[in-house]
Amino acid sequence: MGPMVATQLATGLGVLAGAVLVKSVMDQKPMAGPFQRCPSCNGTGQVSCLCSRWSDGDVGCRTCSGSGRMMCSSCGGSGTGRPLPGKLIVRPPNRSPH
């Protein structure tokens, strides 16, 4: 085996090892930012359309345009579990003089 073949083999193995490493990191933490995958759609942003759930074989309605898939209502189609914005109002306790 010549030096050129050994270099190509080492480069190929390095690329393969890098791909395996990237895949393992992506499986543990998807590129959804700080939020986790949506549990309703598993991060795809789409769920089965109601027309495909209740039909007798034909699929297609205005919501899904015939695809049988519609936007996930839990995540709004983003695929991530988003926290709901909320406003907390904290009032100081009433202190009566003794």
Query: CA 23, CA 42: separation in Å to the nearest integer?
Result: 17
Instruction: State the pLDDT at residue 88.
Output: 82
What are the domain boundaries of the chain? Answer: 1-30, 31-82
Query: CA 6, CA 8: separation in Å to the nearest integer?
Result: 5
Query: CA 15, CA 20: separation in Å to the nearest integer?
Result: 9
Question: Can you read off the two tokens belonging to residue 87?
Answer: 């406003």
SS3 of 15-66: the string is HHHHHHHHHHHHHHCCCCCCCCECCCCCCCCEEECHHHHCCCCCCCCCCCCC
- What's this model's pTM, rounded to 2 decimal places? 0.43
pLDDT in tens, 72-98: 988 888 888 766 677 888 888 887 766
Between 41 and 17, residue with greater pLDDT: 41
Asked if pLDDT for residue 22 goes beyond 50, the answer is yes
